[in-house]
Amino acid sequence: MPKVKLPRKSTNIDMTAMCDVAFLLLTFFMLATKFKPDEPVVVSTPSSISEIPIPDADIMLLTIDPNGRVFFSIDNKNMRKDLISAINTANNLGLTEAEMNTFAIGSSIGVPFSQLKSYLSAPPEMQKQYDKTVPGIPVDTVNSRENELAQWIDDARHLSGNKLRVCIKADADAVYPDYKKVIRTLENLKIFKFNLITSLKAVPPGTAAYEKQQAGVSQ
């Protein structure tokens, strides 16, 4: 039999199409997403069937880690600046302008007032190291003057004109008393409405909520 000669084809592929796709995707990701906020501690939230999304702006985030340490954060950068100067004057912390700016651009804070100056004067890498060992914001429910979390929340709310929405992001393994302390603090400040951040899970079939959901879909 005569051999069939296959024509030798070039291995060069035209990359243009692939390049187009890659950059199209890149543009999509750049426009459609916003950066993950830098978080001092990793918190795995419990799941619920609730589908209410977290508000876009004006949120106050209280993070509770598995060891019960409380971290405080607000999302508005301008307000952060005002907040830290208010806290600074109220407690005579003697923070410099640079340290206050560090707070304004930083993320969640989890140190008592007494350590705030040394924490803010440290470089960002050191702050990340400190976050592993910081004691969290003191939440004392008995003595309201010692309750620094209450001061943070109260000042932030006053600055925002009571617009801030309180969101609590607690770890699933945080024990109830730690959570209760934060709730009591909020209650003492007359905040009775707040959001708990949870991850989404499916509604179990055969329950009242499932029937409601089905009815809602068919309408």
Residues forming the site for other proteins (CB under 8 A): 14-19, 22-23, 25-26, 29-30, 32-36, 45-54, 64, 167, 169-180, 183, 186-187, 192-200, 203-204, 207-210, 212
Query: Residue 171 Cβ, how far from other proteins at the closest point, in Å?
Result: 7
**Least distance to other proteins from the beta carbon of 166, Å?**
10
> Residue 158: beta bridge partners?
none
Q: 87 vs 63, 127, 159, CA distance in Å?
A: 20, 20, 11
Q: How far is the CB of 74 from other proteins (least distance, A)?
A: 16
Residue number, 1 or 208, with CB nearest to other proteins: 208
Structure-token match 């709310």, residue found: 157
| Least Å from the CB of residue 203 to other proteins | 7
Provide the 10 A C-beta neighbour count for residue 115.
13
**CB of 90 or CB of 200, closer to other proteins:** 200
36 CB contacts (<8 Å, ≥6 apart)? none
- Report the C-alpha gap between 54 and 197 in whole angstroms: 8
